[in-house]
């Protein structure tokens, strides 16, 4: 019988209405278990870990990611897979970060949650959780995990964590993976796209966790009418070591002299500037337009087809492990965990 560890961090899936205010608040996982009788029929052993207090994922950050990584490594040898129950708002950030923090992963770590609390009659939480558990327990003929990756399982789709984005605030189809196909789709049975699933490059190597993160990153979203002062504040602020620049289309931004001179000044200060497109799909190619080429010439590096969520987690992880910015830049350009198509 396989063993699955359920890590409940919080989120709508486990929330209940506060009778006074009507607002949703996270409750203890123990209160949810009676509603999850279906799990008992799955011929699996479960261990549950509950975060205290459970968090609305708006309050999740590097400390929580570290805690998730530590809970996983502490149970790694005795478990077959992990399901992380998490709020949807920052799930794509957490799944992205964990994909870099968990090295040599050979077991599934499946994030899930829901748009409606599990206690509501029309909840999507039960189906999401049960599919996530089934995927976390799935093995091939040789007994190896079918999906040894950090993923998000939501609305019948299994998405690579570091390719996922939250795209719908209210619908059940809350997540999408615009630049990489789903790893599996749940219908009457779960169909795995086995050729797309990432496997450890050194099988048998024990899991290692990297919990030293450098969070000195900010995000500049370019938009028409952006002021010089706003660009200065973000790009030249002393508190940042890297800035993700969310550009237009295939990686284009303002080519006016004041903008490019701030970019050059930031590069001179030693900052790592990463170009990510604001478009949901497609990738950055700074050679197509003069406006993109100007950024490349000024020292901005391509984020390729990464999501902002994934670029942020990758920067935190790389900067945490490498004091030298040249090393960080070189590794940013490499596909480490399937996060970019390169």
Min dist CB 24 to ligand ASP, Å, is 8
Min dist CB 22 to ligand ASP, Å, is 15
Residue 273 to residue 327: CA distance in whole angstroms = 14
Phi, psi of 166 (to 5 degrees): -80, 125
Q: Which of 12, 90, 123, 291 is catalytic?
A: 12
Phi, psi of 130 (to 5 degrees): -65, -40
User: How many CB atoms within 10 Å of residue 238?
Assistant: 6
- Tell me the residue length of the chain: 342
Q: Which two tokens stand for residue 331?
A: 């590794």
Min dist CB 61 to ligand ASP, Å, is 13
Closest residue to ligand ASP, judged by C-beta, is 87
C-alpha torsion sign, points 15, 53, 58, 198: negative
Decide whether 88 or 123 has the Cβ nearer to ligand ASP.
88
Min dist CB 90 to ligand ASP, Å, is 6
Q: Cα angle vertex 62, ends 15, 304, to 5°?
A: 105
Find out whether 94 and 16 touch, Cβ atoms under 8 Å: no
Helix (H) or strand (E) holding 324: none
**Chain contacts with ligand ASP (rule: CB under 6 A):** 10-12, 56-58, 87-89, 113, 115
Min dist CB 57 to ligand ASP, Å, is 3
- Would you call 332 exposed, middle or buried from its count of C-beta atoms within 10 A (0-12, 13-18, 19+)? buried
- First and final CA of the chain: distance in angstroms? 39
User: How many CB atoms within 10 Å of residue 250?
Assistant: 18
Tell me, yes or no, if 12 is annotated catalytic.
Answer: yes
Catalytic residue numbers read: 12
């Amino acid at each position: 019988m396989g063993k699955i560890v359920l890590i409940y961090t919080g989120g709508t899936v486990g929330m209940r209405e506060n009778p006074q205010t009507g607002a949703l608040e996270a409750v203890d996982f123990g209160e949810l278990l009676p509603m999850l009788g279906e799990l008992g029929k799955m011929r699996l052993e479960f261990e549950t870990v509950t975060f205290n207090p459970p968090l609305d994922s708006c309050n999740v950050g590097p400390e929580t990611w570290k805690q998730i990584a530590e809970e996983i490594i502490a149970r790694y040898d005795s478990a077959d897979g992990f399901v992380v129950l998490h709020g949807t708002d920052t799930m794509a950030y957490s799944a992205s970060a964990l994909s870099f923090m968990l090295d040599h992963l050979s077991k599934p770590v499946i994030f899930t949650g829901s748009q409606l609390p599990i206690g509501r009659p029309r909840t999507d939480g039960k189906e999401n959780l049960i599919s996530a558990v089934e995927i976390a327990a799935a093995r091939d003929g040789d007994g190896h995990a079918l999906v040894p990756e950090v993923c998000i399982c939501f609305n019948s789709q299994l998405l690579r964590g570091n390719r996922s984005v939250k795209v719908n605030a209210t619908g059940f189809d809350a997540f999408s993976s615009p630049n990489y196909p789903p790893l599996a789709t749940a219908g009457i049975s779960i169909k795995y796209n086995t050729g797309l699933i990432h496997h450890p490059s050194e099988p048998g190597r024990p899991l290692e966790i990297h919990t030293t993160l450098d969070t000195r990153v900010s995000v500049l979203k370019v938009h028409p009418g952006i002021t010089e002062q706003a660009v200065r504040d973000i790009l030249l602020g002393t508190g940042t070591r890297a800035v993700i620049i969310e550009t237009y289309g295939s990686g284009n931004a303002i080519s006016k002299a004041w903008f490019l001179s701030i970019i050059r000044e930031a590069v001179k200060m030693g900052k790592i500037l990463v170009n990510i497109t604001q478009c949901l799909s497609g990738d950055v190619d700074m050679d197509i337009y003069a406006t993109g080429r100007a950024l490349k010439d000024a020292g901005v590096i391509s984020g390729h087809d990464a999501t902002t969520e994934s670029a942020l987690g990758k920067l935190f992880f790389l900067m945490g492990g490498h004091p030298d910015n040249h090393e960080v830049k070189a590794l940013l350009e490499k596909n480490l965990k399937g996060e970019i198509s390169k």
